[in-house]
Structure 1
Amino acid sequence: MTLDPVVLFFVLGLLAALAKSDLKLPPALYETLSVFLLIAIGLKGGVALSKLTGSAVLWQVVAVILLGAGLTLVAFAVLRWRLGRADAAATAAHYGSVSVVTFAVASAYLARQGVEAEPQLTVFLAVMEMPALVVGVLLARIGGDKQVNWGRLAHEVFLGKSMVLLMGGLLIGWLAGVDGIKSLSPLYIDLFKPVLSLFLLEMGLLTAGKLAGLRAQGLFVVAVALLMPLVFAALGLATAVAMGLSVGGAMLLATLCASSSYIAAPAAMRIAVPEANPAISLAASLGVTFPFNLLLGIPLYLWLAQQVYA
């Protein structure tokens, strides 16, 4: 199997950091790349959604919202074997939530393989973030004496940068349609993979920094971070089959379920569950699950989807 060039940029960043190179991307560039990717993914999904008719998508959205909540509950039950309530709940929220970058790499991988997927997967990406964060906070607070500033949490979840850019791009793409978006295609469509490659270079540098913290967290966290994606991908694949999605759609839903958030979830948990140790959740999600999905998981999820639909 030949690795996608964008994934090789991640490997380059990872190896450079482990070798203690002085390679760094300017913080402003990292922020710019993040904004670009979120808008581009939203625009592409919105344009595709503008071609759809019928109400079937609404029921699918409800199903993936329940799926996101359910994944969080499963992750919490597993993590509670060894972690305290706050740490287990915060980490479970990361795994019930999703990774935009993993979704972007999976979408690029599908395109490289010539496999198409339903446009509503971008909507699934947006809505699966919310239930996991809410359930994670509830799990942390059940039986506890600390109060949650729900207004501040709602603002962080619904009006955070990631959600505003993703949903904004989705809405613009849907309103503009295929013809209206053509003038933006040279930037947001043609340059998507080159920009993604630069972003993954930075993600490789960041991931290397989290690997050192894994030793302190113990083998349990590492094992969970490796096994959880596989179990959750299987649950996502089963849900996709029940929904009647295509091979590509099933692979992307499996990837969403297997991914873990390291952008929105840490920000929300910092506000709602400040007593949780962020080193645990970030070491697991960014140090183990993210590179696993990029290097092995994404091709595996496509292969599994193809076997199921064979």
Structure 2
Amino acid sequence: MQDILALAAANLLTPMILCFALGLAAALARSELSIPEAAAKTMSIYLLFAIGFKGGVAVNDHGLDGSLLLAILGGVALSFGLPFIAFALLKILTRLSATDAAAVAAHYGSISIVTFVTATSVLQSSGITSEGYIVAVAAAMEAPAIISALWLVSRSGRSEPMDADLWREILLNGSIVLLVGSFLIGLATGAKGMARIDAFIVAPFQGVLCLFLLDMGLVAGRGLKAARGVLSLGAVAFGILMPMIGAALGLTVGLALGLSTGGVALMMVLAASASYIAVPAAMRVALPEANPSIYLTLSLGVTFPFNLTLGIPTYVAVAQMLTGG
């Protein structure tokens, strides 16, 4: 246990995580520090393109094989299954309606791509390698949880068809399109494509991520301040407990697939994270009566800070201990 804590503490002291902590502290202290919205949007586009492209190049080098398909199947199974666990846990810990509980559960079956990108940078700075195709698993885990959540709502008596607008939100969400598209470009161009734009997507990556996480810390802190009284103690407890449950299941899947230390850690991160981009957009269409202040504050204001400050370092440490990496 002491070894895990020591490894987690070492992984905690990275520029990316400390920049997030700075933004969070500044917002809670009511500082006027801010990042222009256009700049934050540009940085998010850059990060999504870079991680998708590098993942595609890695798969090009690795080749399409059974290990990739099994990893995607494992990720999809997690994304389908986690909302059921989240829904049951919410029913125990909170008094949320079935609609609000299902909306929250959808966020915890899907993934936070920013948490994933941060984890890849933490691994890189620690010299830990991972399977490049995990980015394909991340893309595959965006949408299945939404379908599970809608099924949960239909069981409670509210049943509406999944129309074209909803499918468009699920499949053509900007972050999914950019991530999958850049992955396919990297897959098609391979090492030659990487050589052409290496200076653009490799060297600046961690610096851009630091500034982006500074902004995310500001957003999370302001969200927490604005949401006082909205969340019960049980809901906050869920926001911390659920990622640990997800990480444990991700660990199980990663070890069963025989992934590397970095791959196991990233599978834990994916299963532990909660969406705050793709799923909220879909919920606005699918469950407009669900309260956004509940599901957004939980995913962005509670689980996201927990994962960045304590979760990622712990997941990496556990993966290192159990895989010997």
TM-score normalised to structure 2 length: 0.92
- Superposed displacement of residue 147, structure 1: 2.1
Q: 1:122 to 1:214 in 2, by over 3 A?
A: farther
Contact 1:233 1:301 in 2 (8 A): yes
- Superposed displacement of residue 140, structure 1: 1.8
1:100-153 CA distances to partner (integer Å, 9 max, x unpaired)?
110011000001111100111101110001101111122123343452442111
Residue in structure 2 matching 1:42, options 48, 52, 67: 52
Residue in structure 2 matching 1:275, options 278, 289, 301: 289
1:240-288 CA distances to partner (integer Å, 9 max, x unpaired)?
0111111110000001111111111111111100111111111111111
Distance 2:100 2:288 in 1: 10
Distance 2:154 2:293 in 1: 20
Match of 1:78 in 2: 89
Match of 1:29 in 2: 39
> Mean alpha-carbon deviation: is it higher for 42-51 or for 13-22?
13-22
Q: Does 1:138 align with 2:148?
A: no
1:195-246 CA distances to partner (integer Å, 9 max, x unpaired)?
1111111101110122131543110011011111111101100110111111
Match of 2:76 in 1: 65
Alignment of 1:186-225 (within 5 A): 186-212=199-225, 213-225=227-239
Distance 2:52 2:156 in 1: 39
Match of 1:87 in 2: 100
Q: Does 1:116 align with 2:126?
A: no
Ranges in structure 1 where 5+ consecutive residues have no aligned partner: none
- Superposed displacement of residue 63, structure 1: 2.0
Contact 1:92 1:136 in 2 (8 A): yes
Alignment of 1:242-253 (within 5 A): 242-253=256-267
Distance 2:217 2:58 in 1: 31
Distance 2:111 2:143 in 1: 10
Q: Does 1:234 align with 2:248?
A: yes
Match of 2:15 in 1: 5
Aligned AA (2:267): L
Distance 1:214 1:230 in 2: 24
Contact 1:137 1:269 in 2 (8 A): no
Distance 2:109 2:218 in 1: 25
Aligned AA (1:113): S
Alignment of 1:254-293 (within 5 A): 254-293=268-307
Aligned AA (2:319): A
Aligned AA (2:245): V
Contact 1:214 1:287 in 2 (8 A): no
- Superposed displacement of residue 80, structure 1: 2.3
Distance 1:214 1:68 in 2: 30
What percent identity do the matched residue pairs reach?
45
TM-score normalised to structure 1 length: 0.96
Contact 2:230 2:293 in 1 (8 A): no
Q: 1:147 to 1:248 in 2, by over 3 A?
A: same
Distance 2:285 2:87 in 1: 19
Distance 1:125 1:4 in 2: 23
Residue in structure 2 matching 1:106, options 100, 119, 124: 119
Aligned AA (2:302): V
Distance 1:32 1:148 in 2: 35
Distance 2:216 2:161 in 1: 31
Contact 1:61 1:124 in 2 (8 A): yes
Distance 1:214 1:255 in 2: 27
Contact 1:103 1:256 in 2 (8 A): yes
Match of 1:297 in 2: 311
Ranges in structure 2 where 5+ consecutive residues have no aligned partner: 1-8
Distance 1:211 1:100 in 2: 21
> Mean alpha-carbon deviation: is it higher for 31-40 or for 139-148?
139-148
Residue in structure 1 matching 2:138, options 106, 125, 146: 125
